[in-house]
C-alpha cells in the first residue's frame, strides 16, 4: 500500500508539502497541489483518515460484480450472498460488468468514496493496479494482485475427482473439453490440470479439446468433437452448461449416454437439477462459497486480515456416468 | 395522496398545529406532537419538502426486489434492469425477498429515508397499505394498490395464442396445467383465462389441471397428469420450467412429443435455449420489460406520472409442438 512518502517522491515535493495538500492545511501553489493530487490518484494512496472512515462511515452496502448474472452459477451465488449479507444488516448492490472494465472501475471508485463498504467480485479484467490489499475486496475464483483474498472451490482436486470417476466406471480413453485464456490464468484451468495430471499418473490416454475463450460457436465446437473423437469413452467438460449441451448433441447423434460416452460437468447448478438426463457433475458448494465470501468481506470491512478459503468439491452422480 | 389537511383531521388538531409539527417550528405539546406523527405514519403522508427531496437528494440507487433471483426468468430480468439503470447513471440494489414481508418493508423504509431513490419489484405480499402512489415504485406483473404503475406482458393474449397454436397443429383435447392462489389475483391466472376463453369460444374440450401455489411435489403432480389424462393431446403449462419438467417426464414415460402430446410453456427463458428438445413457448420480451421498468421508475423519481405498460408476446416455435 502506498504511503505519504511514495506520494511525495512521485510528486517531486517534500513530505511537509504532501502532508499540507492531504490535510488541506497551509499554503500550497495550485501547480504543486495538482502534482500531489495526481500522485495520490496514480498510486491509489488512501490517507489514514480515509482508512479509518472505512470503519466509521460504513455505508452498509457491499457491491457484487459478476461477469453476468445471466449465468445460472452466478445467479445462484448472488442469491446466497444477498441472503447472508442481509443477515448481517448489509445490502447488496449488483453490477453485471459483462467484461466492461469501466463499470468495475466505477465501483472501485465508489469504494474509495465510501459509497460502498466492500466489494465481492469476479473479474476477468486487469484491474490489479487499481486495487490494494487495504481495500475490503474479496474475489471469487480469480486471483488478482498478490494479496487480495479470494474464495474458490478446489478446482484442481475437482479435476482429479472427475478422472477418478471416469476411470472407476471403466473409461479407458478420456478427454477434457473446455477453454483456455491467453491473458489470464483462471481457476478453470486448474480443473484441466488436475484431470490431466491424474490421467498421466494412471497412464490413461487423455485428449485435450480446448479453444480460446470465448468459444465463437459452441454447437459447432462440440459437434466436431463428437464427429472426430469417436473412440473417446469419457469426457470431463469444464462447466455444466457446456456439458449439458454436449449430452444433448450426443443424444441427437444417437450416441448412448453413458454406455458409449460418459460425461461429467463442473459446477453443480441447481437450476438444471430438474432436467433429464441428470448431469453427473463435480459440485461446487455454491451456498457455502457465498457465505464465505460475505464472512471475508465483512472481516475486511472491519480491518481484519483474512486468508483465502478453498472449499472441497463432491461428486453428484447423475445419469450421464455409469 | 394524503395532504396536510388529512393529517390534521385524523390527528384531531388544527392545520396550524399540524404544520408546526411537520415544519418543526413553534411550540406543540408532546402529546399533540405524537398524535400528528401517528397520523403522518398512518396516512403515509409525505411533506412537500420530502417530496422535493426525492428529486434533489437522489441517491442514484434503485432497489429491485424479486421473490428469488434463483429463478431464470427473474435473473434475466435483473440483468436487463441493471444494464439499463447503469446507462442512466443509477446503481441497482438487489433484494431476494423470498416471500419475507419484513425484507420488503425494509426497502420501503429505505425509500422513505431517501437511501434508495426508487423501487422496482415483484411482491406476493400484502404490502399495499405501505405504499402510496406518490412513491417512485413500479411493479412487475402484480398490481398492488390502485395506482401503483406496473409492467407486464400480455398474459391474457398469451393464453389465447397458446390455444391457437395447439388448435392449428391439430389438437382436439387440451389442458391447462398450473397453479392458483386463494389470496391474490396474479397475472399468471390471466394466462389460464385467455386459454380457457379461447377454447370455449372454439368449442374445444379444455381440462384445468391446477393445484394451489406452491405445488408441494411438482414431479408427482405432473406424473399423475400423464397417467390420468391419457386422451389429452395438447397442454399449455403456466411457465417454462414446469413445461420442461413435463416434457422430460413424458419422454421417460415413452410418450412421443409432440406427436402424442404437444407442450407449450410461457416465459421464453434464454437460460434453457441450449436444451433439447427446444421448448415451444409464449415469449415475454424480458429485455424490453426490464427497460420499460427502468424508464417508468426514473420518470416516477422525477415526479412524472406514468401509465402501466403491457408488452405483446410472441410464439417461439420449438420442438414440442408440431
pLDDT per position as a tens digit, A121-142: 877 666 667 777 778 999 998 6
User: What are φ and ψ of residue B189, in 5° steps?
Assistant: -70, -25
The radius of gyration of chain A from alpha carbons, rounded to an integer in Å, stands at 24
Model-level pTM? Answer: 0.78
Contact (CB<8Å) B95/A86: yes
Residues of A within 8 A of B249 (CB-CB) are: 276
Residue of B nearest to A76 (CA): B70
Range of weakest confidence among A189-203, A246-260, B122-136: B122-136
Q: A109: phi > 0 → left, psi -120 to 50 → alpha, else beta; which?
A: alpha
Q: What pLDDT sits at residue B56?
A: 45
> Which whole number is the average pLDDT over B30-39?
86
The half-sphere exposure of B158 on its side-chain side, counting CA atoms within 13 A, is: 32
> Chain A closest CA to B294's CA: distance in Å?
15
Dihedral over Cα of A173, A178, A179, A180: its sign:
negative
Q: What pLDDT sits at residue A51?
A: 44
- Report the alpha-carbon distance of residue A100 to residue B193 in Å, rounded: 44
- Residues of B with a Cβ under 8 Å from any A Cβ are 61, 68-70, 72, 75-76, 78-79, 82-83, 86, 91-96, 98, 103, 110, 241, 244-245, 248-249, 251-252, 270-271, 274-276
Instruction: Tell me the pLDDT tens digit for each residue of B250-289.
Output: 988 999 999 999 999 999 888 777 777 899 999 999 999 9
Look at the block and give the residue holding cell 478453498. Answer: A310
Contact (CB<8Å) B83/A98: yes
Residues of B within 8 A of A100 (CB-CB) are: none
Choose the mutation target among A93, A102, A242 for the interface with B, i.e. most B CBs under 10 Å. Answer: A93
Query: Does position A58 have pLDDT exceeding 80, yes or no?
Result: no
Task: Please count the other Cβ atoms lying within 10 Å of the Cβ belonging to residue A118.
Answer: 27
Query: Does position B158 have pLDDT exceeding 90, yes or no?
Result: yes
Range of weakest confidence among A199-203, A292-296, B207-211, B252-256: B252-256
Range of weakest confidence among A54-63, A75-84, A191-200, A285-294: A54-63
Q: From B55, B65, B57, select the one nearest B106 (Cα to Cα).
A: B65
- Report the alpha-carbon distance of residue A221 to residue A212 in Å, rounded: 11
Query: Does position B3 have pLDDT exceeding 60, yes or no?
Result: yes
The count of CB pairs under 8 A between chains A and B is 88
Residue of B nearest to A252 (CA): B276
Residues of B within 8 A of A58 (CB-CB) are: none
Q: What pLDDT sits at residue A56?
A: 44
Query: Does position A49 have pLDDT exceeding 50, yes or no?
Result: no
| Average per-residue pLDDT for chain B | 87
Segment of A97-111, B14-28, B36-50, B284-298 carrying the highest mean pLDDT: B284-298
Query: Does position A283 have pLDDT exceeding 80, yes or no?
Result: yes
> Chain B closest CA to A267's CA: distance in Å?
15
Query: Does position B209 have pLDDT exceeding 60, yes or no?
Result: yes
Q: What pLDDT sits at residue B274?
A: 73
Contact (CB<8Å) A69/B69: yes
Choose the mutation target among A63, A83, A91 for the interface with B, i.e. most B CBs under 10 Å. Answer: A91
Residues of A within 8 A of B95 (CB-CB) are: 82, 86, 91-92
Residue of A nearest to B270 (CA): A70
Amino acid at each position: 500500500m502506498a504511503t505519504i512518502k511514495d506520494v511525495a517522491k512521485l510528486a517531486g515535493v517534500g513530505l511537509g508539502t504532501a502532508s499540507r495538500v492531504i490535510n488541506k492545511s497551509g499554503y500550497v501553489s495550485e501547480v504543486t497541489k495538482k502534482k500531489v493530487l495526481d500522485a495520490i490518484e496514480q498510486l491509489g494512496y488512501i490517507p489514514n483518515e480515509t482508512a479509518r472512515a472505512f470503519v466509521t462511515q460504513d455505508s452498509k452496502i457491499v457491491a457484487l460484480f459478476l461477469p453476468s448474472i445471466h449465468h445460472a452459477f452466478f445467479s445462484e451465488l448472488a442469491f446466497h450472498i444477498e441472503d447472508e449479507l442481509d443477515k448481517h444488516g448489509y445490502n447488496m448492490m449488483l453490477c453485471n460488468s459483462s467484461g466492461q472494465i469501466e463499470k468495475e472501475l466505477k465501483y472501485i471508485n465508489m469504494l474509495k468514496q465510501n459509497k460502498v463498504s466492500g466489494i465481492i467480485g469476479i473479474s476477468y479484467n486487469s484491474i490489479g493496479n487499481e486495487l490494494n490489499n487495504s481495500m475490503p475486496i474479496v474475489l471469487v475464483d480469480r486471483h488478482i494482485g498478490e494479496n487480495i483474498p479470494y474464495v474458490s472451490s478446489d478446482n484442481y482436486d475437482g479435476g482429479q475427482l472427475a478422472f477418478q470417476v471416469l476411470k472407476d466406471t471403466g473409461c479407458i480413453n478420456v478427454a477434457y473439453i473446455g477453454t483456455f485464456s491467453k491473458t489470464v490464468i483462471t481457476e478453470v484451468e486448474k480443473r484441466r490440470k488436475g484431470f490431466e495430471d491424474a490421467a498421466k499418473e494412471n497412464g490413461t490416454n487423455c485428449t485435450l479439446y480446448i479453444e480460446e475463450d470465448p468459444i465463437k460457436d459452441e454447437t459447432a465446437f462440440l459437434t466436431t468433437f463428437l464427429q472426430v473423437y469417436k473412440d473417446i469413452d469419457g469426457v470431463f467438460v469444464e462447466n455444466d452448461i457446456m456439458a449439458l449441451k454436449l449430452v444433448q448433441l450426443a443424444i441427437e447423434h444417437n450416441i448412448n449416454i453413458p454406455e458409449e460416452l460418459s460425461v461429467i460437468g463442473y459446477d453443480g447448478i441447481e437450476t438444471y437439477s430438474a432436467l433429464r438426463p441428470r448431469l453427473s457433475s463435480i459440485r461446487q458448494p455454491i451456498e457455502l462459497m457465498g457465505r464465505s465470501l460475505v464472512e471475508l468481506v465483512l472481516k475486511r470491512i472491519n480491518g481484519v486480515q483474512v486468508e483465502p478459503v478453498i472449499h472441497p468439491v463432491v461428486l453428484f452422480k447423475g445419469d450421464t456416468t455409469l
